[in-house]
Amino acid sequence: MSGGAKRSWTTPVSDAARHWGPALLVAVIAVAIWQLVAWGFDMPSALLPRPVEVWGAAAENRMELLKALYATGLAAAAGLLAAIGLGSLISVAFSQSRRVRLAFFPYVIFLQTVPIVAIAPLLIIWSGYQFRTVVIVTVIVCLFPIVNSVTAGLMAIDRQWSDLFSLYGAGRAKKLARLQIPAAVPYLVLGAKTSSGLAVIGAIVAEFFVGNGTDYDGLGTLMTHWQGFVKTDALIAAVFTSTLLGLFLFGLVHGISRTLLRRWMDAA
């Protein structure tokens, strides 16, 4: 009895150690190398602060970082959700009309290929130094993976299934609702996971421009501010904070995606 109880407790721990152990080991080695380089070459703190100095800067500026984390996280999440909704609607239109797809899909690619740092200043002129501008930039960054994946999923229907639905008198709307959309769920999950990593990048890039001279304080705004005052330790702390935000958002989307896929497989 005790042996079985012990196995039930130790197995999740050992599984987590096997899963995360290599990544944590690499992180520890990277921090050790960082410390050795900063100490061995006697690097000035303005150029390469020690890890303990970055930790101290994070603790000292924790309230600013938390406030900025909330602002950037909210913008990234709002932009990602808007991109999923808008991208799904666009994908439905593309899957139902070849003419619409041929006419508009090149412009979706255009949004993906134009550097976001070139679009952001224009959007600020048109939309202003506001939170919604950050969300719009995030939507643009996240849109293409959603459209590309969901369109592929909606169109990747076996011809035999389509003929079977037609045989039973199913129209285009019923095929879309009962056949194409359920089949596109895994593709939507893939696109959402890809875009979740881009959402934080898009939000921070927009904040580099939007935050200047306004009350909006996102992580990109803090980075710009601390760069101007050569507060390298605080700047690196903000970079790590943005990385943690990206990992959290990706993990959240991954968890939701697993639940959706599990239900999708049960219903299949």
pLDDT, tens digit (0-9, with 9 covering 90-100), for 152-196: 988 877 666 555 565 555 566 666 766 777 888 889 999 999 999
Q: What parts of the chain have a pLDDT lower than 50?
A: 1-9
Q: What is the pLDDT of residue 214?
A: 57
Instruction: Work out the mean pLDDT of the chain and round it to a whole number.
Output: 84
Domain boundaries defined on the chain: 1-43, 47-267
For the chain, count helices (H), then strands (E). Answer: 11, 0
CATH fold for domain 47-267: MetI-like fold (1.10.3720)
Q: What is the pLDDT of residue 177?
A: 65
- Rounded to the nearest 5 percent, the helix, strand and coil shares of the chain are 85, 0, 15
Q: What is the pLDDT of residue 80?
A: 96
The Cα–Cα gap between 83 and 137 comes to 10
